[in-house]
Structure 1
Amino acid sequence: MFKKNPETSEGEVMENDASNSEISTTHSEQSESESETVNSTVNMEEMDSDLDEIPQKDEEEDETIKAIRRQNTRERDHPSNIQCEEFITDISFHPQNDILAVGNIVGDVLFYKYSNDENILQMTLELHSRACRDIEFNQDGKLLLTASKDKSIMISDVESGKLTRFYDDAHDVPIYCLTVIDENLFSTGDDDGTVKIWDMREKGTQIYKTKKNEDFISDMITNDSKKYLVCSSGDGSVTSIDLQNRSIYMQSEEYEEELTCLGIFRSETKLVSGSSNGKLYLYNWEEFGLHSDAFPGPKSSINALVPITENIVVTACEDGNLRATHLFPHRHLGIVGQHDLSVENVDICSTGQFIASSSHNNDIKFWNIQYFDDFDKVSQKHKKHNRKAELKNNLPSSKIRNASDFFSDMI
C-alpha cells in the first residue's frame, strides 16, 4: 500500500495505484507461469526417471523368469524317480546292464530298466515269505542272491527269473546282510552276530561259521585279493576273517556307537566305516584292530555309504541327505541329494555316472555324479574353511540349488 505524499494530487495517486496494480498482477502471472514451467520440468524429469526404472525392473524380472525356465526346461541328465508300493529294503545295480534290482519288505524283488527317458518295470520275483533284507548280483550279473528275514537264502537266474538254489533255514535267526566274495563264494551275517561263508559248488551247507560279535552284522566287504572278509557290527566292532585259512584274523576294539556300513578306497589300501553317530572311521587295510583316523559328520546316523572315487565317499544319512566327503584331505564337499525321510540304501552303477538311493518314503532317486571327477582335485594344502557352510552346500546333482548358483544364470 502506498502512502500519500502531501505534495501529490489525488489523481496522481489513483494513477500510480492503477499502474502498480497492473505491475503486481503481471508479476504474479509471470511467477505462476514460471512456477508451472518449473513444476512441469520437474515432473517430466521424474517421469523420465520412472520410465528409465520401469524397463530395468522389467528386465530384471524377465531375467529371473528366464533363469527359472532354464531350470525347468533343462534336459534331464538322470533317470526319473521310482515310487514303490512297498517299503524298500535294498537296491542293487546290475554290473553290466542298465538294470536296478529292488528288494522290498514283503519278500519280492523288482527289476527296473532305467534310462533318462523312462523307467520300465521288467520283472517281479516273489521270493521270500518275509522281508528281503539284502540283494546282490554275482560278478557277471547272471545270478541274483537274496537273503531274508525268513532265514533263507535264494539264488535266482536273472534272465529267466527261475530259482536255481534255495537254502532253507540257512541261519537260526533272521539274516541281516549278504556279500558276494567271488564267482563261487558268498557270505551272510545275521541278527545275532553269526557269520557264515558258503560255496555254491557245495550242497546246502556252509563251509565256515563264526560268532565273534554280540550284535547284528551290519555289513561285510572284501577286496580284489580276496584274502580277508571284513565285517562291521552293531556292537561297535570290526571283525576280519582270513579267507585262505578260514579263521579269525583280527577284531577291533568296541566303539560306543554302532558301526553300520563299510567301503574300500585309495586303491584298496583304506577301509572306511560309517557309524550311528555320523562319524567316519578310517582303517589301514590289514590293520583292522584300531582306526587310523576319524572324521566327524553332522551327527546324523550314516545308514549306508558308497565310495565314488579314490578319495570321495557318499553317505546316506538318517536326516534324509546324501553327503559327499573328501577323505584325503578331510573335507565336507556338500549335499549330493535329499529325500524327505531317512535314506536307507545307496548304490553306484557300473559306469559310475549315477548313484541311486532309497528312503522311508518308498521312493528311489537317481543322481548324476559325473562332476566328482573335478572335485577329486581338492588341494592337499590345509586351508581355512567353513564346516557349517560346507555341510549345507548343495552340489550340482542336488534337487535344491544354492542361491548364488541360481542367480549366476542371470549374469
Structure 2
Amino acid sequence: MRKSQILQPNPLEFDNQVFDLAFHPQQNIIASGLITGEIFCHRYSCETDAESINLLSIRPHKKSCRGLEFSYDGTALFSVSKDKSIQVIDLETGKVLTKKRGAHDKPINCVLRLNENSLTTGDDDGCIKIWDTRTGNQLMEYSDHEDFISDFSFRDDIKTLISTSGDGTLSIYDIRKPNLLAMSDNQDDELLSVTVVKNGRKVITGTQGGVINLFSWGEWGDSNDRFVGHPNSVDTIVKITEDLVCTGSSDGIIRIIEILPNKFYGVIGDHGDFPIECIRISFDNTFLASCSHDNVVKFWDIRYLYDDKTDDHNDETDTNMEYIESDTNYNNKGKGKSIAAIGQSNNFFADL
C-alpha cells in the first residue's frame, strides 16, 4: 500500500471513556458518546495545527451513552443509553428535542439508522425494535435473541436487517414483516460485530474468540468460511470496500482485512494496549475514527485504501491469517444538509 501525504485531524481527548462514535452524513462533524452519559460534537479539520471545534457538550443521559446515530439529513442526533431511553438532540441549539423514557425494558446497547424514516435499537436482553422517525411510533419488535444485541447491519435494497448477539447467533429480518426470516446455528462464541460485503453476497461477523465468520447470503445455518489471526476479540468492523474491511480488536490494533481471498492486508494504527471500542468511517470515506479505553478519539487517513491496490497486493499478504473451510451443511432455523435546516425532514417523536 502506498501512502501519499497524510493529513488527519488531531486526536480528541476526553476525561472519561468513549463508548460510541457517529460521523455527520454531510459535514466534517463527529459525535462522541461517553460512559458518563455525556455527548460531544466536534467539527474536525485536517489543516495543519488546526484544532477541532467543540460544537456541542451535553449530558442527556444519567447513565452511559451506548450508541449514537445522526438523522438522515444530519440536523439531529439520536442517542441510546443504559438508562433505557432514546433521546433526540437538536444540533443547532444543543437542546434535547425529545426524550423517550423506557423505550426498552432493558438497557439499550446499540442503534442503527436504517433509512430516512426508520431507526432500529437493540437491548441487553436481545430485544430489537424498529421505530418510525417521523412519528416516534414503534413499527416492529423482535425477541428472538436470548442475550444482548451487539451490532446491526442493513441492506436497504431488500429492506433486510442483520443482527448479532452475545448468544452466538446471527438473525435476519425483513423490517416490513413481523417475524424472523432466519437464524444461524449457534456459533459457540459471542458474535460482536457484523457487516455485509461482496455486493451483498457475504456477511461477516467478528467473535469474542478473534475468529471472523463468513456467511453466504441465504445460507444462514452455519458459517461456510472462517479465518483466524486476531489474538483477541473482534469488537467492531466497518466496510471500506466490497473487498476490504477494517477491524478493531481488544488488543488495541486496527487492522485491514481482505475478504476472499482472506488475508491480512495491513495495520491502520493502534491505541496502545487499550481495547478498541468502536471504529467508524466518515461520510466522504476520508477518515476512519476510533475510540478506546484510553479516553481518546483518533483519526486515520484512509484515502489510500481506495486507490488501485493491485501493485501492492502481493507485498501485503500475511500468512498470519489462516483460512479454514467448513463442510457443515446449511439449514435455516425458523425461530419465532445544513445544520440550520433543523426540523425540515426529521421530527422523531414530535407527536408524542
The aligned residue for residue 17 of structure 2 is 87
**Distance of 2:284 and 2:316 partners within structure 1:** 34
The aligned residue for residue 303 of structure 1 is 235
Q: Using CA pairs below 8 Å that are at least 6 residues apart, which structure has the higher relative contact order?
A: 2
**Distance of 1:306 and 1:384 partners within structure 2:** 20
* Superposed CA offset, 1:92-121 (max 9, x none): 111110001000011111001111222121
**Distance of 1:287 and 1:378 partners within structure 2:** 34
**Distance of 2:269 and 2:193 partners within structure 1:** 19
The aligned residue for residue 291 of structure 2 is 358
**Distance of 1:299 and 1:122 partners within structure 2:** 38
> How far off its partner does 1:331 sit?
1.1
Match of 2:61 among 122, 128, 149: 128
> How far off its partner does 1:312 sit?
0.6
Structure 1 residues without counterparts, runs of 5 or longer = 1-73, 391-411
> Does 2:221 match 1:289?
yes
**Distance of 1:132 and 1:226 partners within structure 2:** 31
Match of 1:146 among 56, 79, 86: 79
- In terms of fraction of residues, the more strand-rich structure is 2
The aligned residue for residue 200 of structure 1 is 133
Q: How does 1:157-196 map to 2 (within 5 A)?
A: 157-196=90-129
Match of 2:187 among 235, 255, 269: 255
CA contact (8 A) 2:130 2:175 kept: no
> How far off its partner does 1:159 sit?
2.1
> Does 2:172 match 1:240?
yes
The residue identity in structure 2 corresponding to 1:257 is D
**Distance of 1:108 and 1:192 partners within structure 2:** 24
**Distance of 1:333 and 1:380 partners within structure 2:** 8
**Distance of 2:231 and 2:63 partners within structure 1:** 32
The residue identity in structure 2 corresponding to 1:191 is D
* Superposed CA offset, 1:381-405 (max 9, x none): 9x99652499xxxxxxxxxxxxxxx
The residue identity in structure 2 corresponding to 1:201 is R
> How far off its partner does 1:273 sit?
1.0
What secondary structure sits across from 2:115 in the alignment? coil
Seen in structure 2, the aligned counterparts of structure 1 residues 157 and 226 have a Cα distance that, compared at 3 Å, is: farther
Taking structure 1 as the reference length, the TM-score comes to: 0.72
CA contact (8 A) 1:311 1:376 kept: no
CA contact (8 A) 2:109 2:122 kept: yes
Q: Which has the higher Rg, Structure 1 or Structure 2?
A: 1
The aligned residue for residue 207 of structure 2 is 275
What secondary structure sits across from 2:306 in the alignment? helix
* Superposed CA offset, 1:266-306 (max 9, x none): 22332211111111112223433332321212231011111
The aligned residue for residue 222 of structure 1 is 154
CA contact (8 A) 1:302 1:315 kept: yes
**C-alpha RMSD of the superposition:** 2.3
**Distance of 1:161 and 1:184 partners within structure 2:** 22
**Distance of 2:282 and 2:229 partners within structure 1:** 25
> How far off its partner does 1:262 sit?
1.1
> How far off its partner does 1:224 sit?
2.3
Structure 2 residues without counterparts, runs of 5 or longer = 323-352
> How far off its partner does 1:244 sit?
1.9
* Superposed CA offset, 1:116-162 (max 9, x none): 22212121122111101000112221221111000000112222223
**Distance of 1:286 and 1:149 partners within structure 2:** 34
CA contact (8 A) 1:137 1:143 kept: yes
Seen in structure 2, the aligned counterparts of structure 1 residues 165 and 284 have a Cα distance that, compared at 3 Å, is: farther
- In terms of fraction of residues, the more helix-rich structure is 1
**Distance of 1:323 and 1:231 partners within structure 2:** 23
Match of 2:302 among 356, 364, 369: 369
Taking structure 2 as the reference length, the TM-score comes to: 0.84
How many residue pairs get aligned? The number is: 315
> How far off its partner does 1:310 sit?
1.4
> How far off its partner does 1:201 sit?
3.4
CA contact (8 A) 2:129 2:141 kept: yes
Runs (4+) of structure 1 exceeding 6 A deviation are 378-381
CA contact (8 A) 1:237 1:253 kept: yes
> How far off its partner does 1:258 sit?
0.6
**Distance of 2:275 and 2:218 partners within structure 1:** 33
